[in-house]
Amino acid sequence: MSGQRVVVLVRGERVTIELDRETFGRVCAAVDAAKAARRSALGRAVRAYLRRNPDATANEVAAAVYGRREEILRAVRTARAAEAASDTGPAASADERPVPKPGTGNSAAALSAEEEASA
C-alpha cells in the first residue's frame, strides 16, 4: 500500500500504521475538529470565569479552570483582547459554564445553583 505512515501510541507503545490518502485526510480532520472543540470549550469556561471575577489575574484563572496552563493563559489573553475591543466586558453566551477542576466537589448542579443565586 502506498500511503501515509503515522506513528501512534497504543497503550503506551509506539505503533506505526500506514493509511491511504483518504483515510489519512479523515483522521487529520477529526483531530483538528477535536482540538477546535477543546479550545472552544476552554474559551467559554475562561470567559465565564472572567465574567464572575473580572479582576482575576491570568494565574487565578489558570488555577480555577481545568485545562493546560498555556492554553488557559492564551484564552485569557484572547478574552481580554476581545473585551478591550468591545469595551463592554467579556461576551456572555447562554451555554457558557465554568469547567470545575476534577475532585473539587463542584458538580454541574452546584455550579448552576450558584449561578442562579447570583443572578
Q: Is the pTM of this model over 0.75?
A: no
Domain ranges across the chain: 35-118
Calpha distance 57→67 (Å, rounded): 16
d(CA 28, CA 108): 32
Q: What is the pLDDT along the chain (119 residues), one digit of tens a residue?
A: 467 888 888 888 999 989 888 888 898 899 899 989 988 999 999 999 999 999 999 999 999 999 999 999 999 999 999 888 886 555 555 455 555 555 555 444 445 555 555 55
Q: Are β-strands 13-19 and 4-10 bridged in parallel, bridged antiparallel, or unpaired?
A: antiparallel
The CA-atom distances, in angstroms, between 73 and each of 17, 25, 62, 77, 93 are 35, 31, 7, 6, 20
Q: In sequence order, what are the beta bridge partners of 19?
A: 4
Q: Scanning the structure block, which residue is given the C-alpha cell 479582576?
A: 55
Q: Quick check: 8 and 15 in contact, CB under 8 A? A: yes
Residue 18: strand, helix, or coil: strand
